[in-house]
Chains A and B, each alone.
Chain A
């Protein structure tokens, strides 16, 4: 089981839930599982080149850009955080 933490702007797709538990062996699997539970999520996270530029996906404390990207392998109990780029203050 992988826990995905959902940022506020995407909670409209999760019925307001701030975390969603899904299955998946890689980040890509998890996003596919997430899409099944929360349709529309995949398009918000990925474009045809991979993870959208303005979204950061963290596996634990590591940005997947600096791991194996969407092919990053996951073990059960891992937490994925979705972090959109922010401007504000």
Chain B
């Protein structure tokens, strides 16, 4: 099936977004967009494979678009969306694409992406990686299951586990980003693998497949869903544990 007429949005041009974007462009997806507003830092380079030393200090999207356009074939479009995903732009942003991939470094963005894609009817591939561990899974537009079936809501005072010393290994995000692209290509080619969470454990080199169950009381995709709009308040960080929402040392 031709991917030339297909489009993908990647939220976060970091350790997951870089390899995912590269794979989607090389696979021939006709339109690939990246959304981010960060600059390249020296500490990004070991895992954010679209950037090199000369890019330090530049906008990530300038460097990423250049790197991807060098690989693109005639007719392929690489687009830069110079913004984070926010409650007031999320629906409009995701609506324009056939599949969305989020490799965000914070839970607020992950929940926002989940909600926006569900409300806009777009399939979403989630990716996350910290240290030796990564999780990747694809969610159908209708959910059942969705990210909120698994984690319900933003951590509010209970996120100590993610406050810990962090960091992330290049090979682990490389694998996870490639797997995100693979799941996105399955969606675009009409053979999606929704609802299976792939958990990679880098120390044991083990990939675990976990079937995620739809939660009957899910506020996003359950029978009595209560989320029907994106309200700023729902994605506000926790006051007393703000660091939990942006895992220390890990930038997008």
Binding site for B on A (CB under 8 A): 7-10, 44, 47, 52-55, 58, 61-63, 65-66, 83-89
Tell me whether A88 and B250 are in contact in the complex, defined as CB-CB below 8 angstroms, given that A9-B164, A54-B158 are known contacts.
yes
Q: Judging by beta carbons under 8 Å apart, are B128 and A89 in contact?
A: yes
Complex Cα distance A44/B157, Å? 12
A10 to B161, CA, bound (A): 7
Cβ of B12 and Cβ of A89 under 8 Å apart?
Answer: yes
Residues of A contacting B: mostly: mixed
B107 on the A face (CB < 8 A): yes
Using CB atoms and an 8 Å cutoff, list the residues of chain B in contact with chain A: 12, 14-17, 103-107, 109-110, 127-135, 150-153, 155, 158-166, 168, 173, 176-177, 199, 208-213, 245-247, 250, 252
Chain B residues with CB below 8 A from A86, complex form: 128-130, 133-135, 162, 247
Total A-B residue contacts, Cβ distance less than 8 Å:
98
CA of A53 to CA of B213, assembled, Å: 14
Smallest CB-CB separation from A47: which chain B residue?
Answer: B158
A83 CB to nearest B CB, Å: 7
Q: Say yes or no: B161 contacts A55, CB within 8 Å.
A: yes
Cα of A71 to Cα of B195 in the assembled complex, Å = 25
19 further A-B pairs in the complex, CB-CB below 8 A; given A9-B161, A83-B199: A8-B132, A9-B162, A9-B164, A44-B161, A53-B151, A53-B158, A54-B155, A54-B161, A66-B211, A83-B133, A86-B129, A86-B133, A87-B104, A87-B105, A87-B162, A87-B246, A88-B128, A88-B166, A89-B129
